[in-house]
Amino acid sequence: MSLPREPDPAQLVLSILSSRVSPVQHLENYLRDTFGNLEEVMGPLKFDFTKYYDIELGAGIKRWIVTFEELVDSSRLASFKILTNAIEEEFSQEGRRQFNLDPGVMSLGNFVLATGKNNAHRIYLSQGIFADLTLIFRRSSYQPLEWTYPDYSDSELIGILNQVRETYKQKLENQR
C-alpha cells in the first residue's frame, strides 16, 4: 500500500512571450504582487518555433523566463494560470494580448505547464485548466516527451531550466 504524503514544494517558473523590448519591466509590479519577489529573469531568448502568436503579439517575439524566490504548492498550478490569464487581460489592447504568460511548476523529477487546452496526455486540474507534463528529468537533464512543444524541446531552454533546477535543488536542501 502506498501511503499519501505531501510532495516537496515546487519552483514556480513563468514564461513570458512578447514582442516588447522589456516586458518584465511592464509586468514586474503585477508579478511581485501576485507571485512574490522575483528571483531571476532570463532573456530575451529566441522564439522562432512558430508564427502562431505573431498576429496577436506582433512580429519579433522573444521569450523571458522568470523565477520567484518562494517555493509553491504545486496543487496551485490551475490558480496560477487563472491569475496569469487575468494579467494578460489587464494589459490587452483592442482585444489583443501584449504578453503570453505561461506558468509552470518544477520539481526535481519534472516540469509541468498549465494550459486551458485539453489533450490525451493532459490531466484536468480545475477551473478549466489542465496540467501538461512537458519535461521529465532523466540522465542529468530535462528531457522532452513526444508531445512536448518544440520550443520546450530546444536545448537552450532546457539548459536554462536545468540551471533553474540546480537553484531549486539548493533551496530544497536549505529547507530541510
Predicted confidence band of residue 50 (pLDDT cuts 50, 70, 90): confident
Q: Which domain holds residue 110?
A: 11-175
How many folded domains does the chain comprise? 1
Predicted local distance difference test score (pLDDT) of residue 173: 97
DSSP bridge pairs for 45: 63
* Model pLDDT for residues 69-94, shown as the tens digit of each residue: 999 999 999 999 999 999 999 999 99
Note whether 99 and 64 are within 8 A (CB): no
Domain assignment present for 151: yes
Q: What is the pLDDT of residues 84-131, one digit of tens each?
A: 999 999 999 998 999 999 999 999 999 999 999 999 999 999 999 999
Average pLDDT value over all residues in the chain:
95
What is the pTM assigned to this prediction?
0.95
Where do we find the cell 512580429? 59
Instruction: Confirm whether 162 is domain-assigned.
Output: yes
